[in-house]
Amino acid sequence: MLIQKTTTPKAKPVDESALTFGKVFTDHMLMINYTEGKGWHDERIVPYQNLDMDPACMVLHYGQAIFEGMKAYKTADGRVQMFRPQDNINRMNKSGERLCIPALPVDKVVDCIKQLVEVEKDWIPTAPNTSLYIRPTIIATDVALGVHASKTYLFYVILSPVGPYYKEGLNPVKIFVEDEYVRAVRGGTGFTKCAGNYAASLIGSERAAKFGYSQVLWLDGVERKYVEEVGAMNMFFVIDNVLVTPPLEGSILGGITRDSVIKYARHKGLEVQERKIAIDEVMDAARSGHLNEAFGSGTAAVISPVGMLRMDDEEVVINNNEIGPIAQMLYDEITGIQYGRLSDPFGWVVEVK
Ligand SMILES: *Cc1c(COP(=O)(O)O)cnc(C)c1O
């Protein structure tokens, strides 16, 4: 692969403990082009740069855009590792299939990303709970205004040293149950990480913010009755010590952290149920003291406890607005594997040289 190094490296963040999410980018990026008939070609690592786009570029009009989110971690002894990267690229291909974007060669792309991380390894922060966020993206690049699938695409990967995703850190977040707008329906694009899903969700976040809430809990798009997920996290509830999470039926994103939580919890002997959960069941459990914990799962925050839930005009407090023992255990164990503090019984970690 062509590797073109920058001649003007940027200054790295001095105070790593002040890192937030996705504001600082490293010196290099990975690019791979797709052309119909030729496939994915010309993989290269180049200096971080602006993209040159025609105003008629298809992604700007019809939104053929998908992305991924994963991380690289530095271990205490200086090794660099990633967490389940093949799963991210496989998922990107699932998103792509739904949006008529051609599939990436998974092993080759993971290898290219490893090389990019290797080039940028000095950008991986080492302060507690920091990491290097990896953002693969595909956009449609044909210059044409007819509505059809593009015949050319750009895949690119940018990197960002990050701290906690939510300013609350591991402290509980307040969640607003959205009962007016919906995020996705079965048969739609809810299971994909396509850009349009997030544009459609912004209005819910703004509404929640008006009430002082940082996140939206989406309900199903048909009956507005069953819990789906939060903006960029899957949801888990601990009801009478059983871990319950909505099933993957097409409208929610199949989180890799969700899958890791389910597998780890079962490995620890906890009962996990993937089943439909009515929001009324959650509120009833909260009122009657059966809702032990609630938390979200996602790459950015790993585990994010939920301390308060608001539905209509009613607000319930969960576990005294504190992180619960199951959320804490899962956070400690999963981050322990990611940062190389604990052994990895599942083969999730991929070492970058
Ligand atoms: C990315 C994302 C998640 C979490 O997925 P992970 O693979 O665990 O990071 C959950 N829900 C939505 C809508 C997302 O975009």
Q: Give the distance (Å) from ligand 1 centre to CA of residue 145.
A: 31
φ and ψ of 40, to 5 deg = -80, 130
Q: Which of 92, 189, 193, 334 to mutate to test the pocket of ligand 1 (most atoms within 8 A of CB)?
A: 193
Q: How confident is the model at residue 166 (pLDDT cuts 50, 70, 90)?
A: low
pLDDT at residue 165, as a whole number: 73
Q: How confident is the model at residue 169 (pLDDT cuts 50, 70, 90)?
A: low
pLDDT at 167: 64
Instruction: Tell me which of 253, 259, 348 to substitute to probe ligand 1's pocket, judged by most ligand atoms within 8 Å of the beta carbon.
Output: 253
Instruction: Please give the pLDDT value at position 189.
Output: 97
How many angstroms does the Cα of residue 218 sit away from the middle of ligand 1? 13
Largest CA distance in the chain: 63
Contacts of 3 (CB under 8 A, 6+ apart): 44, 45, 115, 119
Element (H, E) at 44: strand 39-47
**Closest ligand 1 atom to 234 CA:** 10
Mind listing the pLDDT tens digit for each residue in 120-158?
Answer: 999 999 998 899 999 999 999 999 999 999 999 999 999
Backbone angles phi, psi at 136, to 5 degrees: -75, 145
List, for residues 74-130, the tens digit of each pLDDT value. Answer: 999 999 999 999 999 999 999 999 999 999 999 999 999 999 999 999 999 999 889
> With pLDDT > 70 as the criterion, what percentage of the chain qualifies?
99
Tell which atom from ligand 1 comes closest to the C-alpha of 260.
8
Nearest to 294, CA basis, from 246, 235, 341: 235
Nearest atom (ligand 1) to Cα of 183: 13
Q: How far apart are CA 317 and CA 97, in angstroms?
A: 41
CATH architecture of residue range(s) 173-338: Alpha-Beta Barrel (3.20)
What is the CATH architecture of 2-162? 2-Layer Sandwich (3.30)
Residues 104/30, Cβ–Cβ less than 8 Å: no
Convert the pLDDT of each residue in 325-334 to its tens digit: 999 999 999 9
Residue type, 287: R
Q: What percent of the chain has pLDDT over 90?
A: 94
Q: What average pLDDT is seen over the chain?
A: 96
What's the count of helices (H) and strands (E) in the chain, helices before strands?
A: 7, 18
Tell me, in angstroms, the distance from the centre of ligand 1 to residue 253's CA: 6
Does 274 have pLDDT greater than 90?
Answer: yes
Q: Write down the domain spans for the chain.
A: 2-162, 173-338
Å from CA of 3 to ligand 1 middle:
31
What predicted TM-score, i.e. pTM, was given to this entire model? Answer: 0.96
**69 alpha carbon to ligand 1 midpoint, in Å?**
8
Q: Give the ligand 1 atom nearest the CA of 201.
A: 13
3-state secondary structure of 138: strand
pLDDT at 190: 97
First to last CA, the chain: 17
With tokens 């989406």, the residue in question is 218
Q: How many CA atoms lie within 13 A of 22 on its CB side?
A: 11
Ligand 1 atom with the shortest distance to the CA of 259: 8
Ligand 1 atom closest to the CA of 193, numbered from 1: 15
Q: How far apart are CA 279 and CA 225, in angstroms?
A: 6
297 CA distance to ligand 1 centroid (A)?
8
CB-based pocket (< 6 A), ligand 1: 69, 193, 229, 232-234, 253, 255-258, 297-299
